[in-house]
């Protein structure tokens, strides 16, 4: 008998796996906070004997090297990966024994990266699951444009070939267990479903339904901006990441918070967007702890700039710190817990801005002599499906660099659901703009009477 346990990192849209038998297990693409993997092994009563990487990751800092060191496991990395530390190189076809009658077989699946390798879990020689990393995902494939622009088209073609290899060599009932594709920007498209098999992918995945030229053309046309922090993940993983350090940051008082703001550092308020809009430290930015804080904060903050975290509770602070170390934002400069009354000096008052719905925006546009600026901070693909007529478009991840492009006047900012609008509103508020955050679902825009058009 075998087991497969899934460790889901929802904020990054990734899944990591522990698979094994009665005594031993293999960890696949482990996250940087390895305590989760160790705890999963302890619950199963097994020893981690192998740690395997499908590829050098571009979207998070791996915990593989540290997990292997702590557990004494063999660290297995594709042979062609360029890395600066000792590991066991794995080649196409290599078989790794995990437990009695349980093994993983390496299958070269280039495309997401040139050296990408999938691992087929075999029980008594029968394939039962495939850890497909960033190769074949649920309903799509991993992006081929994260390594080097000149390689993108060739890697896209390799993705097509790798998907077909998996489909040809594995039984239809083989489960596919990808690392990416659950909201990850490493996915080339929207992943579909919570579970899948080779047989299901044959029926729904464009990589297995289209000829290579059609597939590559569609894949390349659909690629969007790459999160800026990805440029730092590959080099960190190739060099060998430092061990994770979740030591609580030093505590800052109101005076220090003010000094850090005055110095141009980032002060990030982790509370929900409703509480932030009602009252916050002027100049602070709002990245909700319950949102995709790791993705958006890492994408937007100038790399290496000190960050101070403001949280309601020590648990909220600890959770956010855990999220951030996964993408290489280590050791916040300082932190504070409580509420704005604890973070402001005597005599200071909280800043605030208004929240509204699309119906409020429609009413404002119909009655205002000078109509407000409508700012859409969604991604290009979202806007292509439909946008509010007359709106300005700057994706949220670019807003901090392009804030001077926002026209003068009151700004009503929206996204698809409210979280990114909250981030954008905090940036505009910190820049001294009169802002209203539209905290509403975009599907209600037309219902509210706004003219919604599709991109030509």
Residues forming a β-bridge with 159: none
Question: Which among 65, 70, 72 is positioned nearest to 86, based on CA atoms?
Answer: 65
- What are the start-end ranges of the E strands in 83-239? 88-90, 95-99, 102-108, 117-123, 126-133, 175-178
Predicted confidence at residue 72, as pLDDT, reads 98
Q: Is the dihedral of CA 92, 97, 103, 104 positive or negative?
A: negative
Check residue 190 and give its pLDDT. 66
pLDDT at 193 > cutoff 90: no
333: tokens are 């400069």
CB atoms under 10 Å from CB of 422, counted, come to 27
Q: How far is CA 200 from CA 16, 17, 195, 410, in A?
A: 21, 21, 10, 50
pLDDT digits (tens, 9 = 90+) for 385-420: 999 999 999 999 999 999 999 999 999 999 999 999
- Helix (H/G/I), strand (E/B), else coil: 45: coil
Structure-token pair, residue 450: 């706004």
Give mean pLDDT, residues 85-113.
97
**Pairing state of beta strands 307-311 and 266-269?**
parallel
Indicate whether 194 pLDDT > 90. no
Query: Under a CB-based contact definition with an 8 Å cutoff, are residues 355 and 277 in contact?
Result: yes
Phi, psi (5° rounding) for residue 233?
Answer: -75, -50
Cα distances (angstroms) measured from residue 333 to each of 336, 337, 351? 11, 14, 23
pLDDT band of 166, cuts 50, 70, 90: very high
DSSP single-letter state for residue 142: B
Q: Look at residue 106 in the predicted model and tell me its pLDDT.
A: 98
Chain mean position to CA 65: 21
Strand partners, 172: none
pLDDT confidence of 181, banded at 50, 70, 90?
A: confident
Neighbours of 423 (CB within 10 A): 29
pLDDT at 456: 67
pLDDT(191) > 70: no
In this predicted structure, the answer to whether residue 129 has a pLDDT above a threshold of 70 is: yes
Give me the chain's average pLDDT, please: 96
Pairing of strands 387-388, 373-376: unpaired
> What beta strand segments (E) does 252-370 contain?
266-269, 285-286, 307-311, 334-337, 354-356
Q: At which residue do the structure tokens 């040139």 appear?
A: 114
């Amino acid at each position: 008998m075998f087991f497969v346990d899934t460790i889901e990192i929802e904020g990054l849209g990734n899944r990591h796996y522990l698979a094994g038998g009665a005594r031993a297990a293999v960890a696949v693409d482990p996250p940087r906070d390895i305590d989760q993997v160790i705890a999963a092994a302890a619950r199963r009563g097994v020893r981690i004997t192998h740690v395997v990487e499908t590829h050098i990751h571009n979207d998070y800092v791996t915990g593989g090297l540290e997990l292997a060191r702590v557990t004494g496991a063999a660290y297995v990395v594709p042979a062609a990966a360029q890395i600066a530390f000792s590991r066991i190189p794995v080649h196409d076809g290599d078989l790794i024994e995990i437990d009695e009658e349980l093994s993983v077989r390496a299958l070269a699946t280039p495309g997401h990266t040139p050296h990408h390798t999938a691992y087929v879990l075999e029980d008594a020689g029968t394939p039962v699951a495939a850890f497909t990393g960033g190769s074949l995902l649920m309903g799509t494939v991993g992006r081929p444009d994260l390594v080097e622009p000149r390689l993108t088209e060739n890697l896209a073609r390799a993705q097509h070939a790798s998907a077909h290899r998996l489909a040809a060599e594995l039984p239809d009932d083989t489960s596919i267990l990808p690392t990416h594709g659950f909201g990850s920007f490493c996915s080339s498209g929207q992943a579909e479903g919570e579970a899948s098999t080779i047989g299901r992918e044959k029926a729904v995945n464009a990589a297995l339904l289209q000829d290579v030229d059609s597939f590559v053309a569609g894949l390349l046309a659909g690629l969007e901006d790459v999160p800026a922090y990805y440029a730092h993940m590959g080099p960190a993983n190739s060099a060998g990441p430092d061990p994770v350090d979740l030591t609580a940051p030093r505590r800052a008082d109101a005076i220090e918070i003010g000094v850090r703001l005055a110095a141009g550092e980032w002060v990030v308020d982790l509370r929900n967007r409703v509480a932030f809009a009602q009252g916050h430290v002027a100049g602070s930015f709002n990245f909700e702890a319950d949102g995709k804080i790791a993705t958006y904060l890492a994408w937007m903050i100038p790399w290496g700039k000190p960050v101070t975290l403001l949280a309601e509770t020590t648990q909220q602070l600890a959770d956010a710190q855990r999220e951030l170390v996964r993408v290489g934002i280590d050791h916040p400069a300082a932190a504070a817990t409580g509420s704005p009354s604890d973070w402001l000096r005597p005599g200071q008052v909280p800043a605030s801005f208004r929240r509204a719905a699309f119906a409020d925006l429609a009413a404002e546009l119909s009655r205002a002599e000078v109509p407000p600026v409508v700012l859409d901070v969604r991604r290009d693909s979202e806007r292509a499906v439909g946008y509010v007529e007359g709106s300005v478009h700057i994706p949220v991840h670019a807003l901090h660099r392009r804030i001077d492009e926002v026209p003068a006047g009151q700004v009503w900012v929206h996204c698809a659901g409210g979280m990114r609008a909250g981030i954008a509103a905090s940036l505009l508020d910190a820049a001294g703009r009169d802002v209203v955050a539209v905290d509403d679902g975009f599907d209600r825009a037309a219902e509210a009477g706004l003219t919604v058009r599709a991109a030509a």
